[in-house]
Structure 1
Amino acid sequence: MSTSAGQPPYRDAEESVGDLVKHASEQISQLMRQELRLAQAEMRQKGKRFGRGGGLLGGAGVVGFVALLAAVTTAIVALDLVWPLWLSALVVTAALLLLAALLGLVGKKQVGKATPATPEQAIHSIKADVAEIKERARR
């Protein structure tokens, strides 16, 4: 078997190790850029949903507050038929404070479940890519 101009025989049929490392490095760089774009897109989507949801919750809070004021006034007037006005107002205030405490605890629990705000799909995808790269490197 003869080689031309002193080149090793593998250069004719296959790429050199340096070329393979170069291609692998380029592919890994491209993969990481794609994963970063995926994470950015995922966080943008979550941010938009969070903003929309926050605006709707704010509007609901304002309307709910006005309705609550009307309900409180109605409850105090209704209880005034049975008790003195000051006692009716005190009972309604105590009930509202208990409700506020309950809502605060439930809200805190929900906020705890929503954090941390991480791009979970992108992280999972990166871990799968790293595992695949390690597996192929072993072969």
Structure 2
Amino acid sequence: MRNETEAAAMRMQGDDPAEGRSRVGDAAARLAQDTAQLARQEIIAVQGEVRAALRRIGAGGALLGAAGVCGLLALWSAHETALRALEPALPGARASAVLACAYATGGALLGAAARNRVRAAGQASADALDRAREAVPAGVRRGEGEKGAD
């Protein structure tokens, strides 16, 4: 009878062991939810950064394609005009060589611009992944979790 009275008094004071386990379970569940939400937010942030980098790569590829098309059209339409304009001053072979050098210079400059754009996009992707790695603790990346957090 005395044990029952003491147990009832303890329950009234909030010292019920089952209630304590419930509070710890609730805290653990909240911690798990918060951790999952933080992980989702980080993944969304990294996805946004990767998408932006892919857009820059796409822009670099579009520039490269446009450079090729412009180069081809410029060669085709302007070559005949320039060749006809140079032929009175230079023999046919020299006029063609001068034009070829001009075309090569233009192609090299456009290609270098496209290369720089694509490299910058690749570096942005690498930077985004580095920031994501820094945001996740090393133990979590290895799957160890925290030691002694019982």
Consecutive unaligned residues of structure 1, counting only runs of 5 or more, are 131-139
Aligned pair 1:79/2:86, yes or no?
yes
CA deviations on 1:4-43 (whole Å, 9 max, x unpaired) are 179527987xx72342122111221122124324444554
Question: Match of 1:93?
Answer: 100
1:66 to 47, 67, 73: 73
1:30 to 34, 37, 51: 37
Identity of paired residues, percent?
31
Separation (CA, whole Å) in 2 of partners of 1:119 and 1:86? 49
Larger radius of gyration: 2
Consecutive unaligned residues of structure 2, counting only runs of 5 or more, are 1-8, 138-150
| Contact preservation (8 Å) 2:60, 2:118 | no
1:105 to 112, 119, 123: 112
The size of the alignment, in residue pairs, is 128
Segment drifting more, 110-119 vs 17-26: 110-119
Give me the TM-score of the superposition, normalised by structure 1. Answer: 0.60
Letter of the structure 1 residue corresponding to residue 93 of structure 2:
W
Separation (CA, whole Å) in 2 of partners of 1:34 and 1:62? 42
RMSD across aligned positions (CA):
4.1
